[in-house]
Structure 1
Amino acid sequence: MTAVVDLRADFPVLGRTLDTGPLVYLDNAATSLKPRSVIDAMAGYYDTVSANIHRGKHILSEEASERYEQVRARIAARLGVAPHNVVFTANTTDGINLVAAGLPLTADDLVALPLDAHHSAQLPWRERCRTMWLDASEHATVDEDSFRAALDRSPRLVVLTACSNITGHTADIDRLTAQAHEAGAWTVVDAAQLAPHRLPRIGDHVDALAFSAHKMLGPTGIGVLCLSDRVIDALSPARLGGGTVDWADAHEFRLRRAPYRFEPGTPNISGVYGLGAALEYLDQVGEAELAASDHRLLTALLAAAEARPYLTVLGGLSDKDRLPVLTVTLRGIPDPSPLARALSDSYGVMCRSGYFCAQPYFAAHQLPAGLRIAPYLYNTEAEIEHTFTALDELHRHLARDTR
């Protein structure tokens, strides 16, 4: 607990006091808070450098370029790939769209999509190709029978969710992508919910993996797309411009090598500075401490939910292969939006209500909208207890009003 208290001082937003008392931020599956070091790194870029990258030979441009590529190399090392395999994007959505727009796919090609996939991992493929759904297991990961049946139909590409943003359950990405590759499919992994807790080592069978900085203590507007050499060779840049070519005259142009051919125009340089600071912060926390925090918070969430019969936990109560993301529906409250507002206005608790950009999953299971509680490394068991005590009081009031 001391470590958490020490961490909390690093996050300026947690110093806010509302009319209801201290702020309790439990919307981390949507976006995380930012430590002071990330904010300072971004401000430092503008204060002391503020130059463009890869555009000049003066010292400020070289400083910015060096830091930019240092962050790329740090991410590549964490993922177990070469720096040329790491592309900076605007976010996870942008990265997946880059792949969907650039691969040589036709309207007749089949793409397999997990039922719990975020809209950003579904819609780019639904717009362009034939698609089929991979049924969700009871944990909202891919159902094994459905996955094998899908591979029997020889899909051109398979999309997988590394961690469900509904239940927090994680999928066995190494095994599933290996099976998809054996069936001749490209594989695309949405790692947006997994990255804040651990960056996976990229196996030989992952062709594209995308995540966002803002969910892992970094700034908004910067994401990472990791591409296999196989996909790089097949992928046409969806956008062209400055930075993507080695040469362009009135008659022809020559594309730069990866990753630069996929990074048009002036990028979010300050965002990369912030992402680098976020990675350094998480490294200082350490993988073991972060995993211990995840386990502690998940245990508190599941225990609190299990003790309340009026709650239904999506994905069940198992803690196996699960991160601290908990979505519940509440008996007698089909629309939890007023409840989420009351949690904020009366108790200072920030969490999310709705369908979490995964409406096909809710529709297939005939589920009402849910309430999602998603703590992160700076949250405490006391905050979780406060939240569920507030839920008890609000449920008594709101459920009575719906009768």
Structure 2
Amino acid sequence: MTNNKYVLDVAEDFPAIGLELDGTKVTYLDNAATTLKPKVMVDAVNEYYLGISSNVHRGKNYSLELVSNRYEQTRYQVADLLSCAGNEVVFVRNTTEGINLVAHGLELSKEDKVVVFSDAHHSNLLPWMEKATTHAVRTRADGGLDLAHYHELLKLRPKVVALSHCSNVTGVYSPLDDLVKAAKAIGAIVVVDAAQSLPHRRVNMKQLDIDFLVCSAHKMLGPTGIGILAGKGEMLERLKPMLLGGGMVDWVELDNYRLRKIPHRFEAGTPNIAGAYGLGAAIDYLHHVGFDNIAGHDQAMGRLMLDMAQQRDYLQVINSDTKADRGAVLSLTVPGTPNLDDVARTLSDSYGIMCRNGHLCAQPYVSEQADRQVLRISAYLYNTDQDIKLFFDALDELASFMFR
């Protein structure tokens, strides 16, 4: 066991911790998919729904202005978190919608080139495949990205470079500063998928010179149904809105309309107002815990996961590079056991351990590295070393009769 000095005493803030399944305490290790929710976040959502749940920006009555101000306050909390301006933050449903909005809004054609990561989540791959011609950065034999190949692909002078800050399969962080600088040097538009990284680390968009960044609230203690697209003001001005309707126009005639200023031109229809309340509370909670503490815990848990996996010769780790900048996500294969449905189900039903199996919405990468399903565990700030030990102890028991 590693010595984790970043043990965070937060369990009492999360009602789901301590729940039982048929008398067995639940151990939640599927945080890369979505995180558990602190009570303060749920209270913020309820504050909206149990109060006068007005719409936003549609009139001048007192309750509407109160709700609108709270909604916009969250926008400025996000801007502070990302070091950008308030009008550079667009609320979307999730990371997927944010990336689609950018891919659609840039009005790309198949003659435009986009560099993507081969280990990218489908959400940072499919929109670019649909709109343009993609070139994927190769992987090395150990599962890491071939960064020399990345620099070779930049010689093609792509219009867009779509970066994944942290892999949802391996938990390995990419060297964002170097990658962005290289992409900007050839004039590319840089889009960063921070869905896996922002829950653990702050990202300074201004300092890094990032054009667009996307993430989802539900992966950082917030509610589902709301996400963030942040972009430089001049870059957002270039985007064609993906949705048209109420709330995103200043004036409409039968044969013409005038768009609202950014960011509201991208928020057609009634937004997820309660979600904005919840996102604001989640950001406050993350600041309360401290991002330095959260990042330290993330790295310590990642090291522990890798160490314990490498002690077991019946497991194979996807990207086992011990020198990689690694967070608390680990994907495993069991040679000789191509389908892990029964393993994941037994971990859940017999041990109370909730993890993930399959291709993790990164099928090209997982198929290349494993040619089969993988089993993924992912921890967050409320998980402990004991949770990880429990998982591997359970696998050891299962190995005696389930693995061939």
Q: What's the TM-score bracket when you normalise by the shorter of the two chains?
A: over 0.9
Alignment CA distance shift 1:45-1:297 (3 Å): same
Partner of 1:185: 188
Q: Which of the residues 290, 295, 298 maps onto 2:294? A: 290
Partner of 1:360: 364
Partner of 2:198: 195
How far 1:20 moved relative to its partner? Answer: 4.8
How far 1:155 moved relative to its partner? Answer: 1.1
Which structure 2 segments of 5+ residues have no match?
A: none
2:298, 2:327 → 1: CA distance? 6
Alignment CA distance shift 1:96-1:208 (3 Å): same
8 Å Cα contact 2:143-2:369 kept in structure 1: no
Using the TM superposition, name which of 148-157 and 265-274 deviates more: 148-157
**Which structure 2 residues correspond to residues 126-137 of structure 1 after superposition, within 5 A?**
126-137=129-140
8 Å Cα contact 1:139-1:169 kept in structure 2: no
* Partner AA of 2:216 in structure 1: S
**Which structure 2 residues correspond to residues 96-245 of structure 1 after superposition, within 5 A?**
96-137=99-140, 140=143, 142-202=145-205, 203=207, 205-245=209-249
Partner of 2:335: 331
Q: Secondary structure at the match of 2:90?
A: strand
How far 1:365 moved relative to its partner? Answer: 3.1
* Partner AA of 1:8 in structure 2: A
8 Å Cα contact 2:200-2:294 kept in structure 1: yes
Q: Which of the residues 62, 81, 84 maps onto 1:81? A: 84
2:8, 2:165 → 1: CA distance? 30
Partner of 2:278: 274
How far 1:6 moved relative to its partner? Answer: 3.9
How far 1:299 moved relative to its partner? Answer: 2.8
* Partner AA of 1:91 in structure 2: N
Q: Which of the residues 12, 16, 32 maps onto 1:29? A: 32
What TM-score, normalized by structure 2, do the two folds share? 0.95
Q: Secondary structure at the match of 2:149?
A: helix
CA deviation profile, 1:348-401 (whole Å, cap 9, x unmatched): 00000011111111233353211001011111111111110100111221124x
Report the number of matched residues.
Answer: 400
1:307, 1:284 → 2: CA distance? 36
Using the TM superposition, name which of 148-157 and 199-208 deviates more: 199-208
Using the TM superposition, name which of 371-380 and 242-251 deviates more: 242-251
Q: Over aligned residues, Cα RMSD in angstroms?
A: 1.7
How far 1:53 moved relative to its partner? Answer: 0.7
Which structure 1 segments of 5+ residues have no match?
A: none
Give yes or no for the alignment of 1:60 onto 2:63: yes
* Partner AA of 1:340 in structure 2: A
8 Å Cα contact 1:20-1:345 kept in structure 2: no
Identity of aligned residues (%): 46
Q: Which of the residues 68, 71, 96 maps onto 2:74? A: 71
2:51, 2:87 → 1: CA distance? 28
Give yes or no for the alignment of 1:348 onto 2:331: no
Q: Which of the residues 385, 399, 402 maps onto 2:403? A: 399
How far 1:311 moved relative to its partner? Answer: 1.0
**Which structure 2 residues correspond to residues 38-57 of structure 1 after superposition, within 5 A?**
38-57=41-60
How far 1:140 moved relative to its partner? Answer: 5.0
